[in-house]
Structure 1
């Protein structure tokens, strides 16, 4: 299926390396915080929020680990996927534009994977804030911001890809 596509080794951009580093450092800093402060985290934390960012489901504090595990697995999976841009779906891929299309697609995956893990960190942090009474929820604007970042960045890179025929 992908035999006619060139397999090109694409070097990561400075932006991609920096964004990866920010996400990794944030993730491990959050893990250290959780280990150090585990005893002070309330036993019950919000595990679900409605569209207005209000908590409407509760679980044990161990649920934070589930959130972060899911975030880490998706980050690792998308990091692996970044290495194989020749297996993605493209419109009008040619020998002449393949390298540019691959770079664009890799950048899109990079932005998505790092944004998602940062959102997961924020959600787990905010869950603790709600459980301790320091916050009421994620905030009414959270869903809008999340959708703009995820769908907006996807649309941006897809539009760039279509324009670069």
Structure 2
């Protein structure tokens, strides 16, 4: 197997905006439980069904599950995105197309990271609101929208990658 080129990609303005939004969402994800923890009841929702209704409750400490998972996921994807030459690609990576393919793959990963951290933020906020009696469960469309966004980002990237497989990156 031929070794893939290792290229350090410069961030575009869009990449910087996406990373900034992701980091802001991560900060909010961690700040919400800190702020609301003293007001939360002893039991908080820990599981929702597909329609968004609470199906199980847990101790107050469960409010930290989404922020912890969000922090681990965000951090892992952030650092993984620095080594696009190790990703799996739907097309062969050559010295001619490496920059363009890497740029597309890192943009996809950045978008997925943003969708995931906002999903965790929404879940945490909704769990807090439900715990405080300000809303009843999740929005009924939440599951479909979340899955649709994650799947859509991946499918758009796959189509783009296959369409541009032989094209060179910008110089």
TM-score range, shorter chain: over 0.9
Match of 2:137, SS? Answer: coil
After TM superposition, which residue ranges in structure 1, 4 or more long, deviate above 6 angstroms?
none
Residue equivalent to 1:71: 70
Three-state SS of the structure 2 residue aligned to 1:145 is: helix
Q: Does 1:140 align with 2:140?
A: yes
The corresponding residue for 1:32 is 31
Work out the CA distance in 2 between the residues paired with 1:79 and 1:158. 20
Please state if 1:17 is matched with 2:33: no
Q: Offset at 1:30?
A: 4.0
**Residues 67 and 29 from structure 1, CA distance in 2 versus in 1: closer, same or farther, beyond 3 angstroms?**
closer
Q: Supply the RMSD in Å over aligned alpha carbons.
A: 1.4
CA distance in structure 1 between the partners assigned to 2:58 and 2:162 by the alignment: 44
**Which range moves more in the overlay, 80-89 or 7-16?**
7-16
Q: In the alignment, which residue of structure 1 is the partner of 2:56?
A: 57
Runs of 5+ unmatched residues, structure 1:
none
When structure 1 is superposed on structure 2, of 19-28 and 52-61 the one drifting more is: 19-28
8 Å contact 1:126–1:137 — kept in the other structure?
Answer: yes
What's the offset of the Cα at 1:20? 1.6
SS of the residue corresponding to residue 95 of structure 2 reads coil
Aligned to 1:85: 84
Instruction: Show structure 2 runs of 5+ residues with no match.
Output: 166-171
- Superposed displacement of residue 77, structure 1: 0.6
Deviates more, 1:22-31 or 1:143-152: 22-31
Whole-Å separation in 1 of the counterparts to 2:42 and 2:13: 41
CA distance in structure 1 between the aligned counterparts of 2:35 and 2:131, rounded to whole angstroms:
18
Q: Provide the aligned length of Structure 1 versus Structure 2.
A: 164
Range with bigger deviation, 141-150 or 61-70: 61-70
Deviations 1:119-142 (A, max 9, x none): 101101101111122111111100
Q: Compare 28-37 and 5-14 and name the one that shifted more.
A: 28-37
